[in-house]
Amino acid sequence: MSQATDQQTQMLNEWVRPLVVEFIGTFVLIFAGAGAIIATGGKDLVAIALAHGLAIGLFVTAAGHISGGLFNPALTVGLVATRRLTPLKGALYIAVQLLGAIVAAALLTAVFDKGLWKPVDLGTPQVAGALSSGQALLLEGIMTFFLMFVVFGTAIDRRNGTAIAGLAIGLTITMDIFLGGAATGAAMNPARALGPALIGNVWGDQWVYWVAPIGGAAIAALLYEYILLGWMKPASSPAD
């Protein structure tokens, strides 16, 4: 009985609880972030940036110790690339992150009338007409690089401690939205793009929000892991 209980506890701690947290955190990001776009008609960049940044900052602080607080398939790929997450756990994280984004977007259509969410395409990030796809790809990749770098520097690198991780990660997202919100929506997150796109049926430039964040996150993760931490034995990740 004791062995069975131990196995149950291990299963909960290693798999069930982290997946629940990743679903909730991604849900909150899309519900608060896209919700702020709907509520403001997409016209208040400060409110939109703060909604995204606060959502991530608060929930990384609240539950990052359970799952790592990634809430983003691009960041998940970065940790898989550096072997801080196994491919299996990474795939499951991505699945629940995407599901959380889709459920959040669906519930936004229940909370807000179509006359409110339709003009802003349910908060789906899109490339501004003044930018080419290549420019948008570069901008989204650079912004996600910043985000992944800060995640490594505050949540993974044990030399720095992790007390400020939630604040630092949330502020990075806020900074990136101030920088690129008007140009690309500053998604930095395939789930942030897919959830509203799927429910709102808005598919313009969707590929940009997969290729750029994953590429930017992978470059930052590999740089931090093998150059800035290369001489250290890799510590266990809070997401493991």
> What single-letter amino acid sits at 27?
F
149-190: pLDDT as tens digits: 999 999 999 887 777 999 999 999 999 999 999 999 999 999
- By CB atoms closer than 10 A (0-12, 13-18, 19+), residue 119 is exposed
Structure tokens at 37: 């776009």
Q: Tell me the C-alpha to C-alpha distance, in Å, between residue 24 and each of 19, 141, 238.
A: 9, 25, 17
Rounded to 5 degrees, φ, ψ at 216 are -65, -40
Q: What is the DSSP letter of 84?
A: S
Q: Quick one: what percent of the chain has pLDDT higher than 90? A: 86
The pTM (predicted TM-score) of the whole model is: 0.92
Q: What is the mean pLDDT of residues 206-225?
A: 98
Q: What pLDDT shows up at residue 200?
A: 97
84-129: pLDDT as tens digits: 999 999 999 999 999 999 999 999 999 999 999 999 999 999 999 9
Q: Closest Cα to residue 145, out of 231, 237, 71, 78? A: 78
